[in-house]
Amino acid sequence: MADQQLLDVPEMDGADWFEYALGEGWSDGLPVVPPTVELVDRMIEATSNYGALPELPPSRLTGSIESFAANAVMAGCRPVDFPVVLAGLRAVASEAYNLHGTLATTHPCAQFMMVNGPVRDAVELNCGTNCLGQGTRANAVIGRALQLILRNVGGAIPGVMDRSTQGSPAKYAYCFGENEEDSPWQPYHVRAGYASGDSTVTAMAAEGPHNINDHGSNTGIGILQTVAGVMGQPGSNQSYVRGPHFVLFGIEHAATLARDHWNPDTIREWLFDNARIPAERISEENKQQFADHGIETVAGEYTVSTGPDMINVAVAGGFGKHSAWVPSFGGTAVITEKIISD
């Protein structure tokens, strides 16, 4: 490992290392793996073609590949996971993503990472049942590695630069794969212009997923009416900051929609036209704030985005009549990066 700076850390066992890392402010509160030279070298060897390294706000530091690898080791990543972490890092470091704003806000947004393509199998990423929950190493450690890098290199330390009022469990890790195999539609990354054989990470500064429970509807339009109702609530930034958002359909809801000839484009258009917030549900003070942002009603209702292109549709999860709405910070963008691997 050439031209690296090594930390002078005293020898210690695993339990003492965790206490030491906590004291240094390097942990997210969970145990971390000691980033030995051997483990960091092995991580870097997994990808020799990692591209330019980004500058990270709010610290404005350009971390070394060694620093990124060390955080991936601490998160519990294997070498095969590291190219996915780096793609996610490139995505959130994009200027349009507004990483500084999303890290310093009082909003509880976290770095949402959806993975597409063959790499999902290579890292054994969960795309089905409980894919947004616990229990799968790749989902947990890849998402956690990105968060540790933003903390330890970017400087987004809770209570210092990360000013989130309440935060969110998604700030530990927010990584999953699209369930391409059970989707009735083309995968998200193919619709975004990538080849089916490409592997990608799609990132957005997002709230945690909002469950959409619809066990009663047995038609596509019925499911969409429920989705629109969930989206049409006044408490998210979608109501006045706008910005992108995701609808993650469970495989049963997706199958019903496809049976009734709905596709991602027609779904986006219908939801934009019908996911509305009635003006009477908005306080007078908030109406003034909306007006200050240039947001006016349409037929007595507020839209939840600026157009159908802001609504992103994907399929995730297993069996069960549940889907999820994922609103964003608002002042962010959806960024897709190709995963570079050797």
CB distance 230 to 212 below 8 Å: yes
User: Can you give the chain as a three-state secondary structure string?
Assistant: CCCCCCCCCCCCCHHHHHHHHHHHCCCCCCCCCCCCHHHHHHHHCCCCCCCCCCEECCCCEECCHHHHHHHHHHHCCCHHHHHHHHHHHHHHCCHHHCHHHHHHCCCCCEEEEEEECCHHHHCCCCCCCCCCCCCCHHHHHHHHHHHHHHHHCCCCCECCCECCCCCCHHHCCCEEECCCCCCCCCCHHHHCCCCCCCCEEEEEEECCCEEEECCCCCCHHHHHHHHHHHHCCCCCHHHCCCCCEEEEECHHHHHHHHHCCCCHHHHHHHHHHHCEEEHHHCCHHHHHHHHHCCCCCECCEEECCCCHHHEEEEECCCCCCEEEEEEECCCCCCEEEECCCC
Whole-number pLDDT of residue 63: 85
Collapsed DSSP state (helix, strand, coil) of residue 155: coil
Using DSSP's 3-state secondary structure scheme, residue 98 falls into coil
Q: How far apart are the C-alpha atoms of 10 and 283, rounded to whole Å?
A: 58
Distance CA 119, CA 122 (A): 5
Q: Is 1 helix (H, G, I), strand (E, B) or coil?
A: coil
Q: Where do the structural domains in the chain lie, given as residue ranges? A: 14-338
Q: Are 88 and 200 in contact (CB under 8 A)?
A: no
Q: Would you give the end-to-end CA distance of the chain in angstroms? A: 18
Q: How many CA atoms lie within 13 A of 259 on its CB side?
A: 12
Q: Tens-of-pLDDT digits for all 342 residues of the chain? A: 334 456 667 777 777 999 999 999 999 999 999 999 999 999 999 887 777 788 898 888 888 999 999 999 999 999 999 999 999 999 999 999 999 999 999 999 999 999 999 999 999 999 999 999 999 999 999 999 999 999 999 999 999 999 999 999 999 999 999 999 999 999 999 999 999 999 999 999 999 999 999 999 999 999 999 999 999 999 899 888 889 999 999 999 999 999 999 999 999 999 999 999 999 999 999 999 999 989 999 999 999 999 999 999 999 999 999 999 999 999 999 999 999 876
- Reduced to 3 states (helix: H, G, I; strand: E, B; else coil), residue 159 is coil
Q: Copy the structure tokens of residue 83.
A: 């190219």
Q: Give DSSP secondary structure letters for 270-326.
A: HHHHH-EEEGGGS-HHHHHHHHHTT---BTTEEESSSSGGGEEEEE---SSSEEEEE
- Residues 6 and 3: their CA atoms lie apart, in Å, by 10
Give the span between the Cα atoms of 65 and 52, in whole angstroms. 10
Query: How much is the pTM?
Result: 0.95
